[in-house]
Amino acid sequence: MQEPLVRVRIHIKRSEEISLRTLRKFVCKAAKVSKNAIGSIELGDEHADVEVRRTAAHALAALGEIDVKGQTARVELPR
């Protein structure tokens, strides 16, 4: 049985350089998980909502922020 998906909000300013594929790559690298641990990604202007497995969500929340193409992105778990 797989872990449930948890929605994580990543606060990052949207630019042309940051695509879904790029964001997925940096989230996987930061959480040290495979691409299979990532569900859907919704990009907004000021944030991205990413569905990840529970252990990956806790790993990202523990980091607090990740680096995405030179930008520092703040990570938060919704309450």
pLDDT tens digit string along 5-21?
999 999 998 777 788 99
Separation between Cα atoms, residue 77 and residue 79, nearest integer Å: 6
Check the CA dihedral 33-48-41-26 and report its sign.
negative
- Tell me the average confidence (pLDDT) per consecutive run of 10 residues in the chain, 79 residues long: 90 84 94 93 91 93 92 88
pTM attached to this predicted model: 0.85
